[in-house]
Amino acid sequence: MLSLQKVFEDKWDAFIKIHPVRPIVNFEVRKVIDCGKLSKGFAFYECGHCGNYKMVPFRCKSRVCNSCGYQYQKFRADKVKSKLINCQHRHLVFTIAEELRIFFRRDRNLLHILFHSAADTISAWLLDRNKAKRLTCGMIATLHTFGRDLKWNPHIHMLVSMGAKGINTPFEKFNFIPFEMLRKRFMTTLLFHLKKAVNSYTFKILVDKLYASKTNGFYVYAYAKITNFCSTSI
């Protein structure tokens, strides 16, 4: 079986002649092609007693690399786990209407709006629960730009603590998240931010059509509760 590195090495130049890619993609793939090659640099180790030596090639550390990418994924997972509050969490997925995907594809600078809209949705819900307490929960969000079918489909995955803390309120647990409300609120929040960023008459027409057709809001999905075993105290 050919390795991913070998496939890139044999086919990449021919592929990009037919299918142009963004410079950053080409840069990352070139790193994978050169990953682990002694000709691209190495660390030299020698035993001071027996004289034996070893040359260790430098790795690319690219997330595209099936070797370095796995190590990066493991490191990030451990890093995220260390930041979680020691309580139950919910894994939420915030998706958008298919009609909006093209705008994020044309201008990737808009992708940060997905993060802000998802976080604002949760924060606004907590504020509505009790305005006096001004509750704040733990949120960690990450962006996925493609779906399982490998088509462009930007969406947000978020871990949300099942509890929150106020200015003068100790940690307060909750067991219910109103997903029907979150769907509508996420749609409203996202479209509000996008209208300011895109600011075109055509987009405003699309927004009106989405409000008319997406009466249940954009899809917000929640996986089962998960328990965090980190050492961070509440």
For the chain, what are the domain ranges?
4-57, 84-227
| pLDDT at residue 156 is higher than 90 | yes
Mean per-residue pLDDT, 175-190 = 89
Alpha-carbon span 214 to 187, nearest angstrom: 9
- Radius of gyration over alpha carbons of the chain, in Å? 23
What is the DSSP code (8-state) at residue 100? G
Q: Which of 121, 167, 174, 115 shows the shortest CA–CA distance to 140?
A: 115
**Given this model, what pLDDT does residue 102 score?**
93
CA atoms within 13 A on the CB side of 70: 2
Give tens-digit pLDDT for 100-142. 999 999 999 999 999 999 999 999 998 888 888 888 898 999 9
Q: Which of 96, 95, 115, 110 shows the shortest CA–CA distance to 198?
A: 110
For tokens 């249940």, the residue is 216
Within 8 A by CB and 6+ apart from 48, the residues are: none
**pLDDT-based confidence at residue 94 (cuts at 50, 70, 90):** very high
**Given this model, what pLDDT does residue 224 score?**
65
**pLDDT-based confidence at residue 221 (cuts at 50, 70, 90):** confident
How confident is the prediction for the chain on average, in pLDDT?
86
Global pTM?
0.76
